Chains A and B, each alone.
Chain A
Amino acid sequence: MFLIHCPYCNEEREQEEFSPAGEAFIARPEAPEDISDEAWADYVFYRTNHKGDHWEQWVHSNGCRKYFMVERSTITHEILKVAAFGADISE
């Protein structure tokens, strides 16, 4: 039950307005047909599932409907950073 700052609405809103959309940085392989079954499985199924500060995707589903990235502690639920796709997240 945390608050999330939507980088598009520029508002801090209740988690209820948002939906989680999985781990961030799971990029679709550029040429799926050229990669091995293992690499394809890694993309489709395997996850880091990190315990600690973790980048993930959320969508403002009951708001602007934009997807964005959130760095959140999976231990304390504290949200450390929020970023739009394509934004520089290196600080």
Chain B
Amino acid sequence: MQKKYSWYSLLKAGLSGQDWDQAIPLVEPKSKYDVIIIGGGGHGLATAYYLAKECGITNIAVVEKGYIGGGNTARNTTIIRSNYLRDEASSLYEHSMQLWEGISEDLNFNVMFSQRGVYNLGHTLQDMRDIERRVNANMLNGVDAQVVTAKEIKEQIPIINTSQNARYPIMGSSYQPRGGVARHDGVAWGFARAAAMLGVDIIQDCEVIGIEVEEGRVKGVNTTRGDIMADRIGCVSAGHSSVIAKMAGLRLPVESHPLQAFVSEAMKPVLHTVVMSNAVHGYISQSDKGDLVIGAGIDGYSSYAQRGASRIIEHSAAAILEMFPIFSRVRMNRQWGGIVDVCPDACPIISPTKIQGLYFNCGWGTGGFKATPGSGHVFAHTIAQDKQHPLAKPFHLDRFTTGALIDEHGAAGVAH
């Protein structure tokens, strides 16, 4: 069965009893690779893919302690946008957005990237000032953005409550038409399959339990499936970054927190776009399956338990009902939590470390999913050339020492 997905191959498979090859081959780890990527989430898999595709390195292992895409990749609300305030952040996320726009074709795998637009609502005068500032910044940076009034929002989303009855009435919003959502599992699998086709070994059920460092140089990893050697190691383990760092004797400026989300039972389509409100902590879209996908706020304590306080879920439901009162009798079907690694300036770390050959890509907080292709792309170049990709430069670990923080907290461009 040929590997490429097409109408022809689907037809052929349909006639031959779905005789497909393994998209993600089962492989045994080799003893040595050129590069090891720790973490088989979207970012890690994307890193491996771009290393193989663009950097001429194909002798790569992605080691994943569970199953690929099982962490934050599949535990978020899949919102994709690039309307960040700061130039550094918006360049990175816009780079990612442009990769998203061709990603399904590039990977030959439909990740169902759906540009149904993203609204970031404002509920106070200061929210609206921040929105104006951010939209202006976006436009100057070539990122599509608009300021829309409450009336215009109501025309586009008739089910939204723009009345004064809400505790924090909607005053307006920013709107990014190119923003949207994607199918999270598809993203992980699409990158994994494409990477595997280029020769990358994807090794699941393989937990890293130690990192070998000699004279300031990284040598390899100890795993539950034996030792694997490599001169270059990229750590892309999100919530567990501090744990991996500790194995190499490092500390990171991140804290791991629970971030929760929930979905409703599936209904006929009624919400055709993505609506986010930082002020009331509600983030919502409706998936192609019909369920409302809702992001909640972050829990304030550190945790690796993938669960948080139900109070947060209750508050998010209340926030959603403030915006969409018609959903009161819709039911929550399932809730879950991820572990997000939060950086003090709400921007990621894409950086070499003081250990030669050891690189970290972490600290994405609540906003990592949207960056998946861009993050992988710039991190791949950073590892391949042992030199930060220009777009990754502002995200060096050094910024916490030099004070050159990016501080995306500045305007309402923070969460998700």
Assess the B252–A74 pair: CB atoms within 8 A: no
B253 engages A46 (CB within 8 Å): yes
Cβ–Cβ contact B305 & A75, under 8 A: yes
Instruction: Report whether B305 and A46 are in contact in the complex, using a CB–CB cutoff of 8 Å.
Output: no
Establish whether residues A15 and B254, one from each chain, have CB atoms under 8 Å apart when the complex forms.
no
Q: Does A37 lie within 8 Å of B301, measured CB to CB? A: no
Considering only residues 7-58 of chain A, those with a C-beta below 8 Å from chain B are 15-16, 19-20, 22-23, 37-38, 41-42, 44-51, 54, 56, 58
Shortest distance between the CB of B361 and any CB in chain A (Å): 16
Complex CA–CA separation, A41 to B256 (angstroms): 19
Q: In the complex, how many angstroms separate the beta carbon of A13 from the nearest chain B beta carbon?
A: 14
User: Quick check: B304 and A75 within 8 Å, CB to CB?
Assistant: yes
Question: What residues of A have a CB within 8 angstroms of the CB of B344 in the complex?
Answer: 44-45
Q: Is B64 an interface residue (CB 8 A)?
A: no
CA distance A34 to B309 in the complex (A): 42
Q: Give A83 Cβ to nearest chain B Cβ, in Å.
A: 17
Q: Are A46 and B309 within 8 A (Cβ)?
A: no
Q: Mark A49-91, 1 if CB is under 8 A from B, else 0.
A: 1110010101000000000000010111100000000000000
Interface size on B, residues (CB 8 A): 22
Nearest chain A CB to B210 CB, angstrom units? 15
Please, how many angstroms separate the alpha-carbon atoms of A49 and B255 in the complex?
5
In the bound complex, CA of A56 to CA of B300 (Å): 12
B73 CB-CB contact with A under 8 Å? no
Bound-state CA distance A2–B293 (Å) is: 26
**CB-based contact B309/A45 at 8 Å:** no
User: Per-residue 0/1 for B266-300: is the Cβ within 8 Å of any A Cβ (1 yes, 0 no)?
Assistant: 00000000000000000000000000000000001
User: A72–B304 Cα gap in the complex (Å)?
Assistant: 12
Most buried by B among A38, A41, A45, A58: A45
Nearest chain B CB to A49 CB, angstrom units:
4
| Known contacts A37-B402, A74-B303, A76-B305; A45 and B242 CB within 8 A of each other | no
B302 engages A23 (CB within 8 Å): yes
Which one of A23, A72, A77 has the greatest number of beta carbons of chain B within 10 Å? A77
User: How far, in whole Å, are A2 and B251 apart by their CA atoms in the complex?
Assistant: 28
Contact of A16 among B240, B256, B309, B401 (CB under 8 A): B309
Pairwise interchain contact A74-B311, C-beta atoms closer than 8 A? no
Say yes or no: A41-B305 contact (C-beta < 8 A), given A1-B310, A20-B300, A47-B253. no
A76 CA to B305 CA in the complex, in Å?
6
In contact, B242 and A51 (Cβ under 8 angstroms): yes
The answer to whether B251 touches A1, judged by C-beta atoms less than 8 angstroms apart, is: no
| Complex contact B242–A50 (CB within 8 A) | yes
**A49 touching B401 by the CB < 8 A rule?**
no
Interfacial chain A residues near B400, Cβ < 8 Å = 41, 44-46
Give 6 A-B pairs besides A1-B311, A49-B254 with Cβ atoms closer than 8 angstroms: A20-B300, A46-B251, A49-B242, A51-B242, A51-B304, A56-B301
Q: 29 pairs across A/B with beta carbons < 8 Å?
A: A16-B309, A16-B311, A19-B300, A20-B300, A20-B302, A23-B302, A37-B401, A37-B402, A38-B401, A44-B344, A45-B253, A45-B400, A46-B251, A47-B242, A48-B251, A49-B242, A49-B252, A49-B254, A51-B240, A51-B242, A51-B256, A51-B304, A54-B302, A58-B301, A74-B256, A74-B302, A74-B303, A74-B304, A75-B305
